[in-house]
Amino acid sequence: MQTRKLGPFDVGAIGLGCMNLSHAYGVPPSPEEGGKLLLRALEMGVTHFDTAALYGFGANEKLVGEVLSPHRSRFTLASKCGMTGVDVKGDGKLVRVIDGRPATIKATCEASLRNLRTDVIDLYYLHRLDKQVPIEDSVGALADLVSEGKIRTIGLSEVSADTLRRAHAVHPVAALQTEYSPWTRNPEIAVLETCRELGVSFVAFSPLARGFLADALRDPTAVDAFADKDIRRGMPRFQHGHFEANLLLLDAFRQLAREAGCTPAQLAIVWVLAKGDDILPIPGTSRIEHLEENLGAADVRFDQALLQRIDDLINERTVSGPRYPEATQAEIDTEEFRPA
């Protein structure tokens, strides 16, 4: 696999988002099956693994640590702080909380180091901006962790160009991570340009549009089969009305994939790769066959004319519905397109 720069690190152009193995899309695979997938990714040349304290409330970091720590020198390890599970009511049930206070960031890092079975995390992101805490304070805590040798570089997730500039003024930011695919173009408003100006790598999560562009959801009834804990249940684009409108885009997208000689999932990943050699997609999956399919995108080639046809087909004007419900959108800092 070709390599790209992730801050100071050289990593495979396609990384692995590990969230699906413990979190977010219904019942996760068993730890044994998840471990097999992680090892298969390493075997196939993945050298960029991305996890977070939030995923499974520590379970994902523990899985990555147990399976991959014997191979620690072979890959770049990324994790995230600032959004974790807290027993708010004292009843043993963890609730997701955004907390960017310096003390919380440092405590979360200590737990992550234990869970990941490592002495240092290569890239440590602030998972979400805590709007009650100045970004300068949160990044200052991350800078302390760099000085202490507990993390090597700092990243930010789901932040605006302005927040990136403020953070970068405190300490160099190695990477910014947010959702990017043909159907989520928000980074094109300002973040991609600012990353390039500051020399910050851009990591694209959900390059398959949460499975939509992988052609896994073929008819209007597919959304009714989502598991109870599948986060897509609350996402407007996957709700009736919006979803049926979005399905109308898929036939043409499948045709473009056939023209490129690849699968729809591969075409979506190649679209992200083609947007710049400073962009690193991290598709996630819980199935080895999908992992192998996704990594096969590294071998797909197509011309700029096809890229333009994807741009014209699926974009912020043709996709129906916002990417997050209002409550979630209020928590994040990314720029949003204004309604036409």
The CA–CA distances, whole Å, from 16 to 11, 42, 178 equal 11, 10, 14
Domain of residue 37: give its range: 3-214+273-301
Q: Is residue 318 part of a domain?
A: no
pLDDT at site 292: 98
Residue-wise burial string across 64-91, b where 16 or more C-beta atoms lie within 10 A, e elsewhere:
bbbbbeeeeeebbbbbbbbbbbeeeeee
Rounded-to-integer distance, Cα 81 and Cα 109, Å: 7
* Residue 319: inside a domain: no
Q: Are 170 and 102 within 8 A, CB to CB?
A: no
> What's the pLDDT at 63?
98
The reported pTM is: 0.96
Q: Which two tokens stand for residue 227?
A: 């598991």
DSSP character at residue 25: B
Task: Give the integer Cα–Cα distance in Å for 137 and 199.
Answer: 22
Structure tokens at 338: 């204004």
Q: What is the pLDDT of residue 39?
A: 98
Overall domain count for the chain: 1
CATH at residue 80: 3.20.20.100
∠ CA 333-136-127, nearest 5°, is 45
DSSP string, 220-257: GGGGGG--TTBGGGG-GGGSTTHHHHHHTTHHHHHHHH
Question: Is residue 13, in this structure, part of any structural domain at all?
Answer: yes
Which of 55, 124, 125, 180 is an active site residue? Answer: 55
Contacts of 84 (CB under 8 A, 6+ apart): 53, 54, 57, 96, 97, 99, 104, 108
pLDDT at 340: 59
pLDDT in tens, the chain (340 residues): 899 999 999 999 999 999 999 988 988 999 999 999 999 999 999 999 999 999 999 999 999 999 999 999 999 999 999 998 888 788 888 889 999 999 999 999 999 999 999 999 999 999 999 999 999 999 999 999 999 999 999 999 999 999 999 999 999 999 999 999 999 999 999 999 999 999 999 999 999 999 999 998 989 999 999 998 899 999 999 999 999 999 999 999 999 999 999 999 999 999 999 999 999 999 999 999 999 999 999 999 888 999 999 999 999 999 999 999 999 999 999 999 986 5
Residue 331 lies in a domain: no
Residue positions counted in the chain:
340
Name the token pair of 327: 């409550």
328 domain-assigned: no
Residue 236 lies in a domain: no
Active site residue 55: yes
Using an 8 Å Cβ cutoff, are 52 and 82 in contact?
no
